[in-house]
Structure 1
């Protein structure tokens, strides 16, 4: 919420305009200054500053909640069903609204296939289990394929996509952006926020952030840390707009100097691949799904979730997208849940 725009906080227009004129655009900008510093910058009385800060604080700070209300909220919260029955059951309905969900795995494992199916599901009419909304698909690796998406739709939902004009209507609800650099992605985020709020956007997919910083964060720690702003922005956007945000992440070779954290404990296993983007990103996501291949079989693992045990499902990629071979899954014990295999 620190990145929430001051223009959206219901301040009196003269005060809001003064903030904008002094380039104080977000709650974080305003709350980083003392009241006396703001008096000097805006040239207004203390009572006006106090009133404005009180309003900004009220809007920005989350309200207190009881444990009971949080439990009721979780039980009644909305989800985007993935169409994978076993996975949806584990996640209590599917991809949750209001948080970040991450898909991690090596190239070619099926992350983009998963994202294409989710985009279709969000665009489908409610009567067919969808969200009847628009989707913003940020395609940083140029892997988005309209042809493949329509193929998935025809095979998965033939009763809908064989209707005259329905394929075009579904495709028209999915807005694709292709930023060529991290700076372009950063510049587009404010416009994305406005689109989410104004155009009935029900799902945001970023496929992937890792490609925008590939080769940078390993060599230059400050550049990796600069992703902190993007993490905060995406988390705030998910929470404020109450939509699911799905981000794909690449893998990289584990170096001998890599730190291992409690939820990444290897238990003595010799890991060769780890998720990219670092520990700050790992802590920011609420759900982490690992897609991997072991002994010729692909698996999707619920590696991090506040509501699901560590569990793995074998899957294949077909003309209709990802399909589970079993809805029962296998509970994974110990450090194996955090291992990422590619063989």
Structure 2
């Protein structure tokens, strides 16, 4: 809007428009970059004329405002474009207003063996299920970077979670046929796959994209630091546009790494009492999400899977529609299942921890 030509606005008197053109003030940006007194001197007109012209140019160049009511009405009109993928984890679905949102990036962060892949297998299955059983009746693209996808485990989850469906003849083969597994061997192969996936999303009724895991794609190719942010910047932008374009949930897993720090930041959401302090006052290593702060800001939903006092928890660490909540869970023959809702914990707000180099990381308690 700032580059809109003044001559094409059609609001200013012809005489004023001609004066602007004669002084080489062509666009709205040219006019609005100068003060009223600079314009008076340059155009050789009075304050009233300048104020009038600037008001009209500003009105055209400024984006239209929207009230909360108009946004709500727009959302209701576009309700068919929005939605959620229910995880069948009752407390988590309630916290996320229905499940994993369409058109957004959801990230699972946690150490190895905590249950991230188990979560991905369950939602892949739920996406493939017929809609009459609470599924999306769609196809899934599962990018299995670490070769952790296990078809037998997928079928086991299905048999134990939905025995009434999987006892039907041919249903196992049909469900398995709806999940396409890709195994890129490098970041370059992954980049090439993304270009092809965009076409497949519409051609094959794909309703879920899973990447397990993003951190493994760049491990060994780039150092942990600013050098790695450049290639990832393109990928996160592409994935965000892919989610918005196709209106499907995109779910990615992320690893954790150790970070040594000599003090607990006041910006950390980690419980300070849980930190180990040695005799010199230094603090031992903490677990932080890999991929850096640029990646953390780009995702819409961040779910942290962690273990505390022998129990596993799934924590809503970042969400535009939910406070920070923590749910105890177990990994069973049905996949991930939440324990009773009595165990739900309210936790402090997610805040970034700033290290001595100015890098911001999410510390996992």
Task: Say yes or no: does 1:283 pair with 2:297.
Answer: yes
Distance, in Å, in 1 between the alignment partners of 2:217 and 2:264 is 23
Task: Say yes or no: does 1:234 pair with 2:239.
Answer: yes
- Residues 267 and 335, structure 1, Cα contact 8 Å, conserved in 2: no
2:258 to 227, 246, 253: 253
- Residues 157 and 335, structure 2, Cα contact 8 Å, conserved in 1: yes
- Residues 216 and 224, structure 1, Cα contact 8 Å, conserved in 2: no
- TM-score of the aligned structures, taking structure 1 as reference length: 0.75
Task: Say yes or no: does 1:330 pair with 2:332.
Answer: no
Deviation at 1:183, TM superposition (A): 0.6
Deviation at 1:224, TM superposition (A): 3.0
Counterpart position of 1:110: 115
Task: Say yes or no: does 1:203 pair with 2:204.
Answer: no
1:140 to 142, 145, 150: 145
Encode CA deviations 1:296-339: one digit per residue, 9 max, x unaligned: 10000000001111010000000000010123511112569964
- Residues 316 and 322, structure 1, Cα contact 8 Å, conserved in 2: yes
Counterpart position of 1:91: 96
2:317 to 300, 303, 322: 303
Distance, in Å, in 1 between the alignment partners of 2:238 and 2:350 is 31
Task: Say yes or no: does 1:67 pair with 2:74.
Answer: no
Distance, in Å, in 1 between the alignment partners of 2:100 and 2:225 is 33
Deviation at 1:261, TM superposition (A): 10
Counterpart position of 2:364: 340
RMSD across aligned C-alpha pairs, in angstroms? 2.6
Which blocks of at least 5 consecutive residues in structure 1 are unaligned? Answer: 1-61
Counterpart position of 1:167: 172
Deviation at 1:68, TM superposition (A): 3.0
Q: 1:193 to 1:259 in 2, by over 3 A?
A: farther
- The alignment covers a number of residue pairs equal to 279
- TM-score of the aligned structures, taking structure 2 as reference length: 0.71
Deviation at 1:219, TM superposition (A): 4.6
Deviation at 1:165, TM superposition (A): 0.3
Encode CA deviations 1:147-182: one digit per residue, 9 max, x unaligned: 000000000000101100000000000000000110
Q: 1:170 to 1:163 in 2, by over 3 A?
A: same
SS of residue matched to 1:194: helix
Q: 1:221 to 1:145 in 2, by over 3 A?
A: same
- Residues 217 and 224, structure 1, Cα contact 8 Å, conserved in 2: no
- Residues 266 and 336, structure 1, Cα contact 8 Å, conserved in 2: no
Distance, in Å, in 1 between the alignment partners of 2:264 and 2:199 is 38
SS of residue matched to 1:230: helix
SS of residue matched to 1:254: strand
- Residues 87 and 327, structure 1, Cα contact 8 Å, conserved in 2: no
Distance, in Å, in 2 between the alignment partners of 1:201 and 1:192 is 9
Distance, in Å, in 1 between the alignment partners of 2:237 and 2:292 is 15
Rg bigger for which structure? 2
Which blocks of at least 5 consecutive residues in structure 2 are unaligned? Answer: 1-62, 276-284, 353-361
Distance, in Å, in 2 between the alignment partners of 1:286 and 1:335 is 13
Distance, in Å, in 1 between the alignment partners of 2:116 and 2:199 is 27
Distance, in Å, in 2 between the alignment partners of 1:255 and 1:73 is 47
- Residues 292 and 300, structure 1, Cα contact 8 Å, conserved in 2: yes
Counterpart position of 1:293: 307
